[in-house]
Amino acid sequence: MRKKRVISTICALVLISAVMGGCSGKKTETVQSAAETDLVSKEETKEKTTQETAKETGTKKDVTLRFSWWGGDTRHEATIQAIETYMAQNPGITIEYEYMGFDSYYEKLLTQLSSNTQPDICSVDYKWIGDLIAQNKPFVNINEISDQIDLSKFDQNFIHDFCGQDDYLIGVPCGINGRGVLYNTEFFDKYGLTASDDWTWEDLLKAGKLVNEQDRDAHLLFLTNDVLVYITRDIVKQKYGENLINNNYELICTTEDMTEAMDMVLKLVETGTLPPFEESVLYETVFADQIPGWLEGKWGMTVLSASNLPSIITASPFEIETMRWVVADGAKDSAITVAPTMMLAIPKNCENKEEAAAFINWFVNNPEAIAITGDTRGIPANSEARDMLEEKGAISPQVSTMLAQALEAKTSPENGLTLNAEVAAVISDYSHQVGYKQITPEQAGPAMYKDIEHILEQMKQ
């Protein structure tokens, strides 16, 4: 009996202990939960106070921006220096930079836009405006944030005509650009050529033939793919005084005009004015500062925009000058391109639009930024910046001269349809086939006309 009583007592003690232990655990959990709640409440209050204090004092959160552009080494180095200066003056702002050659830039930008991985500040070329507007206007309308970016020193007519469509401003132009001819003065002297601002297409062919007859390895002219496409646009615009494609999605020329343009490509090759396509195609996506034929003095002149001159001037081991690009006798329009240089745009999906706008405003308006970047993006579109650089002698004489030559020529803005990338690809393809002598101009002209019409029909839908 005694043994049973002891066992019963032990069981009772164990049961009481378990019950007490259970009660004790629940109480501890409740106490801990209250402590945690109190801690969270304090943290929330602290965070709210910090945010309010930051708002009152103007303190901003740390922000990382991405900035992309294209160009040569001179532009890259100046832009990076400007970025580092801005970051030093604006603690909490980090700017990561992405730069590359022009040939691959647009394709990458389109890929980034489609996958929402684009930089916060994107460089945009005027030739892409029509395409980008047709793709739902992926960039902020700068006109809507004019309180954040000061455009008062920019020519308003220029901005309206060249940097967007109607009231939509796609980006802030870094500079004003003009297309022209850059030539090696020693080359011209060697082959007895005289530079002039009134060369015609016939003058170009005559000079090119003269050079190549004296030296079969020497060629007067070499062109990037971009400029090769312009041969067709220029010939048509000079003849009719209108862009290749009007705003009704119609070609304004005939198949015979297309044949004439392709015939000019062939003549440039046959006279030796251009190097054989088998040779020149290797360098059609880079500028003269990266081309052996130019640097070695075998190719004498090229066509490009003034904003690309600084790198070439630095790299060239000889004196270089500029002249106006060729214009046909009796032309109704010179077709000499005048355009904005590298517009800076903010994607609509940018999470830090205010900070991106602040950097752009500093980049195009601040005297220190202007002094650093100089004429690496052409002559500044900001009139005060332009005056400042001219007073300091910081703008290359060749850049100023080329722009002046372009502005003096009678020209009108290009429209988005004429600059459409698909249309340009068709013109490039047929120009290459003719240049390689795979087809004749008579075959290329009508076929090219038909292909462009097909693209325009699809764009209408």
User: Residue 26: its pLDDT value, please?
Assistant: 33
User: Residue 411: its pLDDT value, please?
Assistant: 86
CA separation for the pair 406, 177 (Å, rounded): 9
Tokens 């500029």 locate to 322
Start-end of H helices in 58-135: 73-89, 102-115, 129-134
Residue 382 near residue 365, CB atoms below 8 Å: yes
On whether the 178-338+400-460 domain is CATH 3.30.750.200, my answer is no
Asked if 63-176+340-399 and 178-338+400-460 have one fold, the answer is: yes
User: Residue 203: its pLDDT value, please?
Assistant: 98
63-176+340-399: which CATH topology? D-Maltodextrin-Binding Protein; domain 2 (3.40.190)
Other C-beta atoms closer than 10 Å to the C-beta of 158 total 16
Q: Show me where the domains of the chain are located.
A: 63-176+340-399, 178-338+400-460
User: Residue 316: its pLDDT value, please?
Assistant: 97
Q: Per residue of the chain (461 residues), what is the pLDDT tens digit?
A: 433 333 344 344 333 343 334 433 333 333 344 333 443 343 444 344 434 434 443 446 799 999 999 998 999 999 999 999 999 999 999 999 999 988 889 999 999 999 999 999 999 998 899 889 988 999 999 999 999 999 999 989 889 988 998 899 999 999 998 999 999 999 999 999 999 999 999 999 999 999 999 999 999 999 999 999 999 999 999 999 999 999 899 999 999 999 999 999 999 999 999 999 999 999 999 999 999 999 999 999 999 998 889 889 999 999 999 999 999 999 999 999 998 989 999 999 999 999 999 999 999 999 999 999 998 998 899 999 999 998 998 888 898 899 889 988 878 889 889 999 999 999 999 999 999 999 999 999 999 999 999 999 999 88
User: Residue 29: its pLDDT value, please?
Assistant: 34
User: Residue 24: its pLDDT value, please?
Assistant: 35
Bridging pattern class, strands 320-323 and 164-165: unpaired
Bridging pattern class, strands 164-165 and 299-305: unpaired
Could you tell me which of 341, 455, 420 has the C-alpha nearest to residue 132?
Answer: 420
User: Residue 60: its pLDDT value, please?
Assistant: 60
Residue 438 near residue 283, CB atoms below 8 Å: no
Q: What is this structure's pTM?
A: 0.71
User: Residue 369: its pLDDT value, please?
Assistant: 98
Could you tell me which of 444, 424, 426, 425 has the C-alpha nearest to residue 434?
Answer: 444
